[in-house]
């Protein structure tokens, strides 16, 4: 495991990208397991679901100190089959997780931003997330706004948040 930067480091050298291989996905599952099972007790032993196959996964990786790299943050965007509360097509971001020793360094925000850029490029009208209550400010800084009432999932308070489309395609049907 790579050593996290020390106090006083201004920026983490990292690469944020979409996953490219089965090995990348295995690293994503390992992060989910560590955060959502080991740390938070939210899930059983299964850190995957059927939506993984059709989703877009993004990760942040950092140098591992041995000439390679280590994936330390991950999230997923699913577009197909999701409707918002008004019945409009939407995307959904799930499974946002950063290893504890790498939190607070902007990696999770960069991973989510990559997925939001991708949703915008696809002209997805809105993207939702069921945010843990402690992370509402984090998602707010990424353009999400609260929608609805708080609810509990796995004993942790959550709030649904929505981020509207930023990019609007030009309507070329008018002269």
Q: Is 1 part of any domain?
A: no
Q: For 3, which DSSP code?
A: P
User: Where residue 70 sits, what CATH number does that domain have?
Assistant: 3.40.630.30
In a domain, 65, yes or no: yes
CA dist 106 and 54 (Å) reads 27
pTM for the whole structure = 0.84
Q: How many domains does the chain have?
A: 1
Residue 172 lies in a domain: no
pLDDT of 4 over the 50 cut:
no
Q: Is residue 160 part of a domain?
A: yes
Answer whether residue 3 is part of any domain: no
Write out pLDDT tens, residues 121-144.
888 889 999 999 999 999 999 999
Domain range enclosing 54: 15-164
Q: What are phi and psi of 77, to 5 degrees?
A: -115, 125
| Alpha carbon distance 99, 92 (integer Å) | 22
Over the Cα atoms of the chain, what is R_g? 17
């Amino acid at each position: 495991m790579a050593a996290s930067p020390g106090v006083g480091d201004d920026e983490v050298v990292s690469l944020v990208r979409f996953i490219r291989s089965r090995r990348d996905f295995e690293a994503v599952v390992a992060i989910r397991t560590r955060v959502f099972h080991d740390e938070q007790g939210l899930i059983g032993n299964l850190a995957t679901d059927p939506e993984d196959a059709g989703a877009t996964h993004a990760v942040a990786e950092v140098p591992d100190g041995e000439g390679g790299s280590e994936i330390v943050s991950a999230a997923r965007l699913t577009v197909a089959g999701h409707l918002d509360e008004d019945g409009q097509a939407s995307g959904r971001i799930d499974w946002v997780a950063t290893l504890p020793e790498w939190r607070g360094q902007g990696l999770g925000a960069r991973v989510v931003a990559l997925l939001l850029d991708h949703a915008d490029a696809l002209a997805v009208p809105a993207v939702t997330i069921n945010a843990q209550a402690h992370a509402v400010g984090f998602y707010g800084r990424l353009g999400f706004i609260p929608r609805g009432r708080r609810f509990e999932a796995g004993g942790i308070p959550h709030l649904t948040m929505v981020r509207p489309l930023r990019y609007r395609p030009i309507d070329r049907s008018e002269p």
